Structure 1
Amino acid sequence: MALLEQKTMKTADILNEFQASFFAMSRLASFPWTFVENDLLSNKSSELISELLKQTVLHPLCRRFPPSVRYRRMFLSELIRRQEAADCDPLDQLYDALAEVLGAEEETECHKSYLLPSGDAVSLLENIALISEGTTGLVTWEAALYLAEWALDHRQVFNGRSVLELGSGAGLTGVTICRSCSPHRFVFSDCHATVLQKLRANLRLNGLSEQTSPAASVAELDWATATEDELTALGADTVIAADVVYDPEVAVTLVQLLSKVLSCSSAQVQPEILICSTVRNPETYSGFKQQLENAGIHHEVMAAPVSHVFPYNRLAAIELIKLYR
């Protein structure tokens, strides 16, 4: 009985992993295919494949917020390949699902959904291309996922607070915080017109607005021209940013902005500032830290591990720092 229970639990874990990876459009190679192969070979049954379909392509979330056509086609083709390799009986619903996507037209945008521990999902409209319209802000990057996981582990940092996010991109971190961490108010910000448009659309997709609780809004914020009065009006007591240190020139304007954020707050009530970065170029990142020190801004590395909630490349060098003066 104990072995049966263990297998049932393992199967449930595998189904959950497939579901989370599918909706986040993770690389197919990262899926736990070995378990599927072993199950198909030992049982000669398509029962597991049927359950995988229910949790992915046939799930109501996929009907409402579908991953890209190409991704669904590749996923279904992989399921068929592995089922046929195990010489299992054909599964009609599998071929029907493939026929549906074979006739669908590919678009430049798709939905990615990130499953929360509560069972809820953050669904975002993202661009399929990593870089489009001259910006990287139309997709979700690893540091945003890491910062969202850190927020889920440290909800008290955001509870009842007014939060400003710099360079919000597609909105994953902010929507996660709004959904799970009970801030009083959350301001998403960026300076690229297309990113701002996408942000507003993603807030609507997730039922967030200035009339909801928390109150959520989108602000155009140009780091190079933002004034202390403008920052004071935003009234943030927590400031966050993810994957914004990727270019030396951008880092210069970011440090200037952070200096203004700290200058326009009283010494007794300085905002909590958290910057999360994927360290792709160590020279650029160390240069950013040096500029912070030159501006009289100190940092502390938040090195504690985070709970694994979202599927992404955990081999990437990601660092979260807290700033203070």
Structure 2
Amino acid sequence: MKSNRKDSSKENRADFLDEFQSCFFSTSRLASFPWTFLENDLESSKSSQLILDVLKQTCLHALCKKFPPSVRYRKLFLVELIRRVEAADCEPLDELYDSLAEVVSAQEAAEGYRTFLLPCGGTVSLLENLALISEGTTGLVTWEAAHYLAEWALDHPQTFAGRKVLELGSGVGFTGVTVCRSCGPSKYVFSDGHSSVLQRLEDNVRLNGLLQEETPPEVSVEKLDWSDVTEERLDAIGADVVIAADVAYDPDVVAVLVQLLSRILRRKCGRVLPEVFICSTVRNRQTYDGFTKQLGDAGISHRVISGAVSHVFQYKRVSEVELIKLYV
């Protein structure tokens, strides 16, 4: 019985450290960390050993040296750890204060890395702007629908395996990198229309090693203006799966988007029509309903894809997210 309890304790500790690491590298809200386990350990042991283990999985981890979260985030994280140690009256830990001193002396930047751990053991690392709106666009950060669509893809890899995928409005690249890393497409085209977003997108795709790999998928990053995409361009892409996340939030661009989707849905890739999936964070119901109405007016039907989606990534789930499949 003692052996079973000891094994269970080790598993709990390992799960705790994994969750802490996942929260840290994805720069989750500090309130979402599993603090209760840490507090109980500090109170019972009066030792800072678990804090040291946390540091090794976060600020002292090799991944943090390569893709560090923002200076501000790391500072807040370390200050919170110190507060918990001092509140429990535990022994001081030099590594903790040394880490804080290093961060305090670092120069703050307008951007930082977020890294998400994949079930396959890989990672998706992205450089994002800290401001939600930067350089006149919202495309320099990852939004909820992109995370949701990536989780749905992980649950349905057969939708992408061996197929040519076009992503509209790729933003910083989270969904696409996840699909390329885990779902086995033969070709993946990242696209966006904003020049600043496109540069960041290409940097992030390269950062994750996708442009350097000789093995499938064949990956490209392309500028795609929805209003003037030629038939020849669509033929050259040859997508049999088209996806997009958070592209219907602006009423001013919805009409152009619907026109493009109508053209895509009526183009055969080989002998079959492409499958098209649109995932949206429904922040404004009127705007979203306007999008679906314009789809209907263009002769495009849609089906809401419901059902549970595996909770893989650490991100805020505040707004309603809806995934639809389009048909003509």
Q: Which moved more, 1:44-53 or 1:8-17?
A: 8-17
2:298 aligned residue (295, 300, 306):
295
Q: Secondary structure at the match of 1:254?
A: helix
Q: Secondary structure at the match of 1:312?
A: coil
**TM-fit CA distance, 1:276:** 0.6
2:287 aligned residue (263, 284, 287):
284
TM-score by length of 2: 0.96
1:13 aligned residue (12, 15, 28):
15
**TM-fit CA distance, 1:210:** 7.1
**TM-fit CA distance, 1:152:** 0.7
Could you tell me which residue of structure 2 aligns to residue 250 of structure 1? 253
Contact 1:227 1:260 in 2 (8 A): no
**TM-fit CA distance, 1:266:** 6.2
1:310 aligns with 2:296: no
2:99 aligned residue (97, 101, 109):
97
Distance between the aligned counterparts of 1:178 and 1:149, measured in 2?
A: 13
Could you tell me which residue of structure 1 aligns to residue 53 of structure 2? 51
Distance between the aligned counterparts of 2:128 and 2:269, measured in 1?
A: 38
**TM-fit CA distance, 1:229:** 2.5
Could you tell me which residue of structure 2 aligns to residue 116 of structure 1? 118
1:60 aligns with 2:62: yes
Q: Secondary structure at the match of 1:320?
A: strand
Q: Secondary structure at the match of 1:156?
A: helix
Contact 1:155 1:180 in 2 (8 A): yes
**TM-fit CA distance, 1:166:** 0.3
Q: Secondary structure at the match of 2:171?
A: coil
The one-character-per-residue Cα deviations of 1:241-267 (angstroms, maximum 9, x if unpaired) are 011111112221111110111233269
Could you tell me which residue of structure 2 aligns to residue 221 of structure 1? 224
1:132-147 alignment runs, 5 A limit: 132-147=134-149
Task: Give 4+ residue runs of structure 1 displaced > 4 Å after superposition.
Answer: none
**TM-fit CA distance, 1:105:** 0.2
Distance between the aligned counterparts of 1:267 and 1:177, measured in 2?
A: 23
- Whichever residue aligns with residue 112 of structure 2, its letter is C
Identity of aligned residues (%): 63
**TM-fit CA distance, 1:228:** 2.6
- Whichever residue aligns with residue 123 of structure 2, its letter is A
Q: Secondary structure at the match of 1:182?
A: coil
1:106-255 alignment runs, 5 A limit: 106-209=108-211, 212=214, 213-255=216-258
- Whichever residue aligns with residue 268 of structure 2, its letter is S
- Quote the RMSD (CA, aligned, Å): 1.3
Residues 177, 290 of structure 1: alpha-carbon distance in 2 compared, 3 angstrom cutoff: same
TM-score by length of 1: 0.97
Contact 2:169 2:244 in 1 (8 A): yes
The one-character-per-residue Cα deviations of 1:49-95 (angstroms, maximum 9, x if unpaired) are 11110111111000000000010010000000000000000000000
Q: Secondary structure at the match of 1:87?
A: coil
Unaligned runs of 5+ in 2: none
Distance between the aligned counterparts of 2:12 and 2:61, measured in 1?
A: 20
Contact 1:110 1:125 in 2 (8 A): yes
